[in-house]
Structure 1
Amino acid sequence: MLQSQPSRIGTLLLLLSAVIGFAVAIYAWLTPLTGVTGTIGALGVAIASVLLAILTFILRGASRRGARIFLIIVTLVMLFGIGFAGALLHQYIITAAMVVGLIGLIVLSSNSVRHNHHARA
């Protein structure tokens, strides 16, 4: 099945935000003097970013309306949760990346609206 251009852009933005969130969280978790070295919060953000990437692929492949709505809501909650955790960890790059992911989710979900109008005689 061919995906439209907005669908690709939305998917790429969501994946980009997940990769940036993962990379910054792992960096903060491993690097001394970041203030969150070895904390469960930084590791949790890294794991949540991996889950966000997995949700992105599942959302892209979902075709039923109910499943798409559920996955959009779960992805939205994940984006807000990761962004808030990034702010609490003073890793504002993670929060900015989740804003980019939110834009990607909006693009991806607005493209998913399909109207089936049947002519009645």
Structure 2
Amino acid sequence: MLQSQPSRLGSILLLLAAVVGFAVALYAWLTPLTGVTGTIGALGVAVACVLLALLTLLLRRASRGGMRVFLIVITLVVLFGIGFAGALLHQYAIPVAMVVGLIGLIALSSNSVRPDHRVRA
């Protein structure tokens, strides 16, 4: 099944947000003098970004219905959680990436809102 352009763009933006969040959190966790070197918070954000990437892949595969709505809600909660944790870590690139991910989630979920009206003759 071919995916529409907003769906493809949405999943690319969500995956980009997950990769950027993971890279910034891992950098903050490993690099001295970031203020959060070796803390559980920076490592937790990196792990949550991996979870966000997995949720994105699951959301691309989900068909219309309850499971898709559940995955959208869970992805939204994860996006806000990662953004809030990134702000608490003073790594402000992470909340910016999560806003991009939110735009991607909106584009990805916009396909599930449209009803499928087909003309039958």
TM-score category of the 2 structures, normalised to the smaller one: over 0.9
Question: Larger deviation: 17-26 or 63-72?
Answer: 63-72
Distance 1:65 1:95, change over 3 A: same
Query: The residue matched to 1:2 in structure 2 has which SS?
Result: coil
TM-score by length of 1: 0.95
Q: Secondary structure at the match of 2:113?
A: coil
Please tell me whether the aligned partners of residues 28 and 34 of structure 2 are also in contact (alpha carbons under 8 angstroms).
yes
TM-fit CA distance, 1:111 = 1.7
Q: Which residue of 2 aligns with 1:64?
A: 64
Q: Aligned residues: percent identity? A: 78
Contact 2:64 2:112 in 1 (8 A): no
1:32 maps to amino acid: P
Deviations 1:28-58 (A, max 9, x none): 0000000000000000000000000000000
So what's the TM-score if we normalise by structure 2? 0.95
The CA distance in 1 between the partners of 2:118 and 2:8, in whole Å, is 28
1:19 match: 19
Structure 2 Cα separation of the partners of residues 114 and 86 of structure 1: 34
Matches of 1:51 and 1:77 in 2, distance apart? 12
Q: Counterparts of 2:20 and 2:76 in 1: how far apart (Å)? A: 17
Amino acid at match of 2:85: A
- Over 3 Å counting, the alpha-carbon distance change for 1:5 and 1:117 in structure 2 is closer
1:104 counterpart residue number? 104
- Structure 1 counterpart of 2:28, one-letter code: A
**Residue equivalent to 2:74:** 74
Matched positions, count: 121
Q: Which ranges of structure 2 fall in alignment gaps of 5 or more residues?
A: none
What is the distance in 1 between the residues matched to 2:76 and 2:87? 17
What RMSD in Å do the two structures reach over aligned CA positions?
Answer: 1.5
Structure 1, gaps ≥5 residues long = none
Between the aligned partners of 1:111 and 1:44, the Cα distance in structure 2 is 31
Shift of 1:116: 3.0
Q: For 1:91, give the aligned amino acid.
A: Q
